[in-house]
Amino acid sequence: MVQTLNREYIKVQLERLKKHDTGKSLDILPFLANKNKPIKGKFNNILGEYIRNITGIKENSLKGKKRDFYISSEDNETSELIADEVKITNDDDRYDFVRFLNQYLFNQKEIKPIHPFLFNYIKVDKAKQNEYGKYARFMNEVLVEDNEEIKAIFSNKETEDILTELILNKLDTLQGNLEKKSVDFKSNHYQPLLPSLSKQYQEDMIYLSQFKDYFLTSFPMLTNFYAFMYVCQLSFKFEQFTEADFDSTQPLYFSLEWETVSKRRKVVEGLEGYKYIRGNSSNLFPHIHTISQLSHNTLNEPFDENEKIPFITYSELLKQIQGQGKEYEKAFLSELKQWIKEYSLWANVDIPDHSNTIPEAFKVLFHCLKAGTNSDVAKKYGENIEDLGSPFLKSRGNSGKVFNVKHDFLLLITAVSVKNKRMPLNELFVEFEKRGIAFDRYSKKEIITLFDNHNILDKKSDSGDAQYVKPILF
């Protein structure tokens, strides 16, 4: 019989570790299944590490000879040295200038990112280094994907004002040569699975970077949203098994922060809103481990002890198997059914296997892993979705939490959607959907009213086709 699954390797891993393990498969998410909630309400805490992952700059190279640039005090070394550069001779004037620099450049113990390059200087909490480091690397590898234009945003030091130029030049003098990480993008930890969403993030970031002041305050929110939407899309598509299309983005229904929402609204109903994501969040852990097991197969070579292998989704694996012909497909199904028996014995689960096709067998194996997974572990792992997306969720009483858009985020997502030329209103809603955001007709009416109030709507008639949204940032 043709060998298909590497059943022996998977079995050895399970017996050796006495727990589920993704083996040689690339990671998909940075989530942990413990009680800690490192990311809830603290997304901005990982920005420095995220940016250093993009630029490749080592954190240790962003320190002065005497002290860490992050420390702020009345006699801050950085502010003092910048004042030296200006050569202020009057002691009172020098004191006022240093005090101004401390307020302008530092926020308590952290540097203020008054320029994109200064995001490299935001320190990471050492107690959370592991957790924040995972999220930072995850976002870089699945969203940025070594995009040189985004890298340039945070690597370049060009500026339009003398003070910022002075500060950046002085930091250059203090730190010497910046040490770069040795980055090999062939050895990524996380595998990007949603190319359409990743490309949309890159496009929005590059456009937004043209507007420095707005970019500095808004790119963290944009990044948080895309990271959250990325995870929601994965959760949604895993539930579709072999029917999932990872090249497209599934629009999910959001409501507006200020509107009233009834139980009959799509944002509350279970199929295309947060209720569906939350209801299936505990499936995320068993899905990942099911697919990781399936990814250990002879189509996914080279299979080497020291080498990671791609994480192959249900739909992609089925396509690859079918491409090998009927004999291979039959052999794969046979070995998969055998593995279901072996796993069931290891996990001590009893799930009936009446599968006659590979898609059916995928679902049986998933249900076996779900039964064989500690329910508390799966629940806590899935709760990371809500922790990551807390700024984009709102509790609606008995209806529970729903996807939520606040006023400032609506204007941000509109700005990156419309860009430089006015856009038909109906086309704008299509652009929202490309980013995973759908609105029902009630929310759309609220949006039209808001745009009217902000004078960014050219309203030629009541017809949606005859209404245009003006560029916001131009």
Task: Flag whether pLDDT at 35 surpasses 70.
Answer: no
**Dihedral, CA of residue 276, residue 282, residue 288 and residue 289, to nearest 10:** -150
Least trusted range by pLDDT, from 9-23, 67-81, 223-237, 325-339: 67-81
The pLDDT score that the predictor gives to residue 408 is 97
Task: Flag whether pLDDT at 178 surpasses 60.
Answer: no
DSSP for residue 297: B
Give the H/E segment covering residue 442: helix 441-453
Helices marked H in 296-406 — which ranges? 314-322, 326-347, 358-372, 375-388
pLDDT over 90 percentage in the chain = 66
The pLDDT score that the predictor gives to residue 76 is 60
CA 103, 108, 114, 120 torsion-angle sign? positive
Q: Is the peptide bond between 38 and the residue preceding it cis, with omega within 30 degrees of 0?
A: no
Contact yes or no for 351/368 (Cβ under 8 A): yes
CA within 13 Å, CB half, 19: 6
Residues 343-358, mean pLDDT to the nearest whole number? 96
Task: Flag whether pLDDT at 391 surpasses 60.
Answer: yes
* 416: nearest Cα among 121, 145, 215: 215
The pLDDT score that the predictor gives to residue 430 is 98
Using DSSP's 3-state secondary structure scheme, residue 435 falls into coil
Question: Cα 129 to chain center, whole Å?
Answer: 18
pLDDT over 70 percentage in the chain = 89
Task: Flag whether pLDDT at 351 surpasses 90.
Answer: yes
In angstroms, rounded to a whole number, what is the distance separating the alpha carbons of residues 109 and 67?
Answer: 13
CB within 8 Å of 229: residues ≥ 6 apart: 197, 249, 252, 435, 436
The pLDDT score that the predictor gives to residue 65 is 47
Task: Flag whether pLDDT at 66 surpasses 90.
Answer: no
Residues 181-205, mean pLDDT to the nearest whole number? 84
Residue-wise pLDDT tens digits, 148-161: 999 999 999 888 88
Least trusted range by pLDDT, from 78-82, 282-286, 305-309, 439-443: 78-82
Most confident of 117-126, 260-269, 279-288: 279-288
Least trusted range by pLDDT, from 207-216, 318-327, 463-472: 463-472
Least trusted range by pLDDT, from 27-36, 245-254, 401-410: 27-36
Task: Flag whether pLDDT at 27 surpasses 70.
Answer: yes
The pLDDT score that the predictor gives to residue 72 is 41
In angstroms, rounded to a whole number, what is the distance separating the alpha carbons of residues 312 and 300?
Answer: 8
Q: Which residue has the higher pLDDT, 333 or 59?
A: 333
At residue 74 the predicted structure's pLDDT band, cuts being 50, 70 and 90, is very low
pTM of the model: 0.92
Residues 451-466, mean pLDDT to the nearest whole number? 79
Residues 109-120, mean pLDDT to the nearest whole number? 85
Residues 331-351, mean pLDDT to the nearest whole number? 96
The pLDDT score that the predictor gives to residue 457 is 93
Helices marked H in 106-188 — which ranges? 129-139, 148-155, 162-175
The mean of the pLDDT values for the chain is 89
Integer CA distances (angstroms), 313 to 151, 294, 409, in order:
29, 9, 32
The pLDDT score that the predictor gives to residue 464 is 55
Using DSSP's 3-state secondary structure scheme, residue 393 falls into strand
How far the first Cα of the chain sits from its last, in Å, is 65
